[in-house]
Amino acid sequence: MLPVEEAPKVVSTVDKATEAIRHRFQLVAQRISRCRQLQAIKFSTIESLLGSSRRQNDVVVVGMLTQQKSHCYHIEDLTGSMQVEFNDETKFQHSIFTEGSVAIFQGSYDASLLTVREVASVPLESAEETRAIFGNVNWFGGEDPIAFRCNAKLCVAERSNPNAQIVILSDVHLDNSRVMQAVYHMLSGFSGDPPLAFIFCGNFCSRSRQRETMELLHTGFRRLANQLNDFASSFTSTHFVFVPGPDDPCLNMVLPRPHLPGVLFKYFEQIPNCLFATNPVRIQYASQEIVVIRNDLVEKMCRHAVNTVAAENISKSFAKTILSQAHLSPLPPHVAPVLWEFDHVMTMHPLPDVLIVADKFKSFAEIQADTVVCNPGSFSSGSFGFHVYLPFERKIEDSAIDLPADR
């Protein structure tokens, strides 16, 4: 993790983009030297291969996959760039390999071309394994210099509340009367057993980027505030977090995104513990580190992958990929642009306890390297599905609101 020496800027120079991409590569590649499974493998650099005039039948290279022109792929490391060729016999490990992915490539090298036989992701490293090497420094954020998981008092506080729960919703269209009805039913259901927090993720309007969008948002948030006021006595200690979606009004269309427009905050002035958060946002509960991002990543990564992933394996492959890349948007800038000087905000090192990727893709929950990766799915899709996270058990529960059909 690199220290940020000065305040990052929205408009940056080319060298900042290069620095961010190099940092992404180094963050993943460094794990190889610590991985026992890979100690016996001899890795080659691209520079050493390009400097060789002889054919080599079995080489292993760590590189970032790029596409410099249509259907012409290269891999890059800190020493150079080399063309690679995939064919029908190329084997891909159970991950989603896209442009911008850092992976392990094995194959034969001849005349500046690597014919790839197998592609594997860099093995995951749990937060506990990372801290065993780098110590208990707090890289997650906040004022405490010690990582939350290593704070004995926070661990005791977490164990003392075994019934704690966090409710997560995505695509909460506040301009849809059925959605608002479902939200009211949900609030009513939890009023008897208030959760620690409700995390509402956008998009908050079904008709985004239109002339009437802001008016619909004003109306929707006013109605939501009225609903919350109806249960004010029940949720005095509950936090309400609002994370903007990719189509919600914003000054920019790239990640990380600022909070929703400030004019919407006025409806929640009388409601305690409301937070209009950025996207992504980091949340601490006791000793646990939770990262939330609202972005339609799953299908986008599948569309730009060089391999095909079976439908039944997509959620598991996605979870493994995003944790292996240790980045919340492991795609090239022309597909998923990021503010370069804020790219460090998108990194995950060490891995968090929980990664919530709020996506339109169907809901799922996976555990990889002791990290829970979940997607609550779209609340407005008709089933009104959402997730409930139980911190004590480190478990995700699928839930839904069963509304009677309109007559």
Q: Is residue 76 part of a domain?
A: yes
Note whether 233 and 290 are same-domain residues. yes
Residues 392 and 272 in one domain: yes
Q: What's the pLDDT at 216?
A: 97
CATH code, 224? 3.60.21.60
pLDDT tens digit string along 171-203? 999 999 999 999 999 999 999 999 999 999 999
pLDDT in tens, 274-333: 999 999 999 999 999 999 999 999 999 999 999 999 999 999 999 999 999 999 999 998
Residue-by-residue DSSP string for 209-262: TSTTHHHHHHHHHHHHHHHHHHTTTT-TT-EEEEE--TTS--S-SSBSB-PSPG
Query: What's the pLDDT score for residue 126?
Result: 96
Residues 164 and 117 in one domain: no
- Are 114 and 158 within one domain? no
- Whether 193 is in a domain gets the answer yes
- pLDDT at residue 27, as a whole number: 94
The span from the CA of 140 to the CA of 48, in Å, is 37
Evaluate whether residue 311 is within a structural domain.
no
pLDDT of residue 4: 53
Does residue 53 register a pLDDT over 90? no
Cα(201)–Cα(255) distance, integer angstroms? 15
List the alpha helices (DSSP H) in 266-401.
298-303, 314-325
Tell whether 229 and 94 lie within a shared domain.
no
Condensed to tens digits (0 to 9), the pLDDT of residues 110-136 reads 999 999 999 999 999 999 999 999 999
d(CA 206, CA 175) in angstroms, rounded, equals 7
169 and 108 together in one domain: no
Same domain, 112 and 161: no
Domain count of the fold of the chain: 2
Comparison of pLDDT for 218 and 8, the residue scoring more: 218
Same domain, 108 and 187: no
Same domain, 101 and 237: no
Domain that holds residue 199: 154-295+336-400
Pick the closest to residue 45 from 68, 63, 22, 66 (CA basis): 63
Look at residue 382 and tell me whether its pLDDT is greater than 80.
Answer: yes
Q: Is residue 82 part of a domain?
A: yes
Residue 15 maps to a domain: no
Decide if pLDDT at 153 tops 70.
yes
Instruction: Give residue 162's pLDDT band: very low, low, confident or very high (50, 70, 90).
Output: very high
Structural domain ending residue among the three candidates 80, 96, 121: 121
> Residue 349's pLDDT is what?
92
Q: Which residue has the higher pLDDT, 331 or 12?
A: 331
Instruction: Answer yes or no: do 90 and 169 share one domain.
Output: no
Task: Identify the domain boundary among 101, 121, 141.
Answer: 121
Residue 230 domain flag: yes
The pLDDT of 95-103, averaged and rounded, is 97
Does residue 28 form part of some domain? Answer: yes
Which tokens belong to 235? 């949720």
Q: Which of 33-37, 46-50, 95-99 has the lowest mean pLDDT?
A: 33-37
Q: Is 136 contained in some domain? A: no
Judge contact between 358 and 170, C-beta under 8 A: yes
pLDDT at 369 over 80: yes
Residue matched to tokens 């899709």 = 381
Q: What is the rounded average pLDDT of the residues 91-107?
A: 97
Q: Tell whether 244 and 375 lie within a shared domain.
A: yes
- Judged against a pLDDT cut of 70, whether residue 348 lies above it is answered with yes
Q: What is the CATH number of the domain that holds 47?
A: 2.40.50.140
Residues 168 and 216 in one domain: yes
Residue 3: predicted pLDDT: 54
